[in-house]
């Protein structure tokens, strides 16, 4: 009798374990299906100070303007949003950040989109057709599914502190 009770407990525990294993496999595989396509942009230490009083950064005091910096993984864009806030993003495309042509450039006609490509002799050539909305950083066209890599922006007086 004692053995029968023990066998029932073992069988019940085995059922629970099978259910848990099945559930974890289902969750794991469903998470993989929903993973964004593209590569992770590597973490690169960023510690940038921008003095808005300097002549080279006066454009950043105007809403909708931006300045490119060489920092970050593939450069940084600091953007003064139409909402008055400052935003900083890495210029690497989140689809294929290691490709030479995969750098993000502001679309000067809209001022709210960035396109993946490169400039050669003043001519823009698309790389992967990815297009991102600024200031959200989310892709709106092309194969990219990951948002642009964003950095923290803190403002103290007329100085912006950009970091990760």
Q: What is the pLDDT of residues 111-139, one digit of tens each?
A: 889 999 998 888 899 999 999 999 999 99
Paired residues of 50 in beta bridges: 160
Average predicted confidence (pLDDT) for the chain:
83
Q: What is the mean pLDDT of residues 101-118?
A: 91
| pLDDT tens per residue, range 49-59 | 999 999 999 99
Closest among 30, 7, 33, 19 to 145, alpha carbons compared = 33
Using DSSP's 3-state secondary structure scheme, residue 82 falls into coil
- What pLDDT sits at residue 108? 83
Residue 4: pLDDT over 70: no
| CATH class given for the domain over 47-163 | mainly beta
Residue 92: pLDDT over 90: yes
Give φ, ψ of 42 to 5 degrees: -60, 145
Q: What's the pTM value of the predicted model, to 2 decimals? A: 0.76
Rounded Cα distance between 26 and 17, Å, is: 14
For the chain, the structural domain boundaries read: 1-35, 47-163
Residue 141: which pLDDT band, with cuts at 50, 70 and 90?
Answer: very high
Residue 29: pLDDT over 90: no
Rounded Cα distance between 145 and 138, Å, is: 8
Q: Estimate the share of the chain in helix, then strand, then coil, as percent rounded to the nearest 5.
A: 25, 35, 40
| Distances, alpha carbon 92 to alpha carbons 21, 107, 129, 158, in Å | 39, 15, 14, 27
129 and 55 in contact (C-beta within 8 Å)? Answer: no
- What pLDDT sits at residue 68? 96
Residue 1: pLDDT over 90: no
């Amino acid at each position: 009798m004692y053995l029968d009770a023990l066998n029932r407990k073992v069988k019940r525990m085995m059922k629970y374990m099978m259910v848990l294993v099945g559930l974890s496999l289902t969750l794991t595989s469903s998470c993989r299906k929903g993973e964004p396509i593209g590569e992770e942009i590597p973490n690169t230490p960023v510690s940038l100070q921008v003095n808005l009083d300097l002549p080279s950064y006066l454009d950043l005091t105007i809403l909708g303007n931006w300045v490119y910096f060489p920092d970050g993984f593939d450069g940084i864009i600091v953007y003064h949003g139409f909402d008055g806030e400052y935003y900083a993003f890495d210029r690497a495309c989140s689809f294929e950040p290691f490709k030479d042509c995969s750098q993000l450039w502001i679309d000067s006609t809209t001022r709210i989109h960035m396109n993946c490509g490169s400039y050669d002799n003043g001519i823009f050539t698309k790389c992967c057709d990815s297009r991102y909305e600024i200031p959200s950083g989310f892709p709106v066209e092309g194969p990219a599914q990951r948002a642009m890599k964003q950095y923290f922006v803190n403002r103290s007086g007329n100085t912006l502190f950009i970091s990760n």
